[in-house]
């Protein structure tokens, strides 16, 4: 387990013996049990991010045995269960490792860099007033489904942690696709892709070299093809300038 008392402290791996864990316990429940023992012994509990514990919020960020979110495909850490490990296994648990996600404490990293990308263009402009009828703006079913698929990105950051370049392209591509497929997202479509990519670079994320590690660990199955879509949007937007 990675222990690091603060952003500028040197961290190190510490081994803990955890007993009495049900195979049906989630990975986070296992850490809860360990933390109860640590607290009872007067030790500092392990800091880790979590909220919903049902695969929605994207907070439970940790690298388990070298894989972001652990060994089960398409799963968040909170939905990973201990039955995927054998009794007596030694499990390495570390925080996301990426220049743009500095460690705050133990397994908690600062993901403000993701917010900066959203602030740069992850929105639409809509007039205020009475909400329009839901069917007033027709959206082809194919586009609605694809936009919905992209919108399932929970901003967990696993894609960044898995990328050898520390790139956030899959995350940014999901956000750009989500809005770019809908009529409401068209007015800012060009400025969005340019500004979000600039914000991504400014925040310290690395460049994408099509390694594909991001899509392998994404708990929501965001496909690599969305990065191609982003690049296409970017080229068109730049050409119009
Ligand atoms: S693209 Fe997937 S891995 Fe990346 S932040 Fe979104 S849900 Fe997480
Ligand atoms: S705690 Fe919310 S996705 Fe895991």
Closest ligand, as measured to the CA of 167: 1
Most ligand 2 atoms within 8 A of CB, residue of 51, 61, 64 to mutate = 51
User: What's residue 105's pLDDT?
Assistant: 98
Q: How far is the CA of 93 from the centre of ligand 1 (A)?
A: 19
Averaged pLDDT for residues 109-125: 97
Does residue 129 register a pLDDT over 90? no
Averaged pLDDT for residues 192-213: 97
* Confidence class for position 103, pLDDT limits 50, 70, 90: very high
| 160: nearest Cα among 80, 102, 97, 106 | 97
Q: How far is the CA of 76 from the centre of ligand 2 (A)?
A: 7
Pocket of ligand 2 (CB under 6 A): 50-53, 55-60, 76-78
User: What's residue 115's pLDDT?
Assistant: 98
Does residue 131 register a pLDDT over 90? no
Alpha carbon nearest to ligand 2 atom 3, residue? 55
Q: How many CB atoms lie within 10 A of CB 22?
A: 12
User: What's residue 136's pLDDT?
Assistant: 87
Q: What is the value of pTM for the model shown?
A: 0.95
| 169: nearest Cα among 138, 135, 203, 214 | 214
Does residue 134 register a pLDDT over 90? no
User: What's residue 132's pLDDT?
Assistant: 81
Averaged pLDDT for residues 217-235: 98
Q: Which domains does the chain have, with CATH numbers?
A: 1-110 (3.10.20.30), 112-239 (1.10.1060.10)
Strand 2-3 to strand 12-13: parallel, antiparallel, or no bridges (unpaired)? antiparallel
Maximum pairwise Cα distance, the chain: 64
Say if residues 141 and 81 touch (Cβ distance below 8 Å): no
Most ligand 2 atoms within 8 A of CB, residue of 69, 76, 219 to mutate = 76
Closest ligand, as measured to the CA of 52: 2
């Amino acid at each position: 387990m990675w222990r690091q008392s603060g952003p500028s402290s040197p961290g190190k791996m510490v081994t803990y013996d955890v007993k009495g864990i049900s195979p049906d316990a989630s990975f986070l429940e296992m850490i809860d049990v360990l933390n109860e023992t640590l607290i009872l012994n007067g030790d500092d509990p392990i800091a880790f991010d979590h909220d919903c514990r049902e695969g929605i919020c994207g907070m439970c960020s940790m690298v388990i045995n070298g894989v972001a979110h652990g060994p089960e495909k398409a799963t968040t850490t909170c939905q990973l269960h201990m039955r995927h490990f054998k009794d007596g296994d030694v499990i390495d648990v570390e925080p996301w490792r990426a220049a743009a996600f500095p460690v705050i404490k133990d397994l908690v990293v600062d993901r403000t860099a993701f917010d900066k990308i959203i602030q740069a263009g992850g929105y639409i402009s809509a007039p205020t007033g009475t909400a329009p009828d839901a069917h007033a703006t027709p959206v082809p079913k194919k586009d609605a489904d694809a936009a919905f698929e992209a919108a399932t990105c929970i901003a967990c950051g696993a894609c960044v942690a898995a990328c050898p370049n520390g790139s956030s392209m899959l995350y940014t591509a999901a956000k750009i696709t989500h809005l770019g497929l809908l009529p409401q997202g068209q007015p800012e479509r060009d400025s969005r892709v340019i500004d979000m990519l600039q914000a991504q670079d400014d925040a310290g994320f690395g460049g994408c070299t099509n390694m594909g590690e991001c899509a392998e660990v994404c708990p929501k199955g965001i496909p690599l093809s969305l990065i191609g879509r982003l690049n296409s949007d970017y080229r068109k937007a730049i050409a119009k300038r």
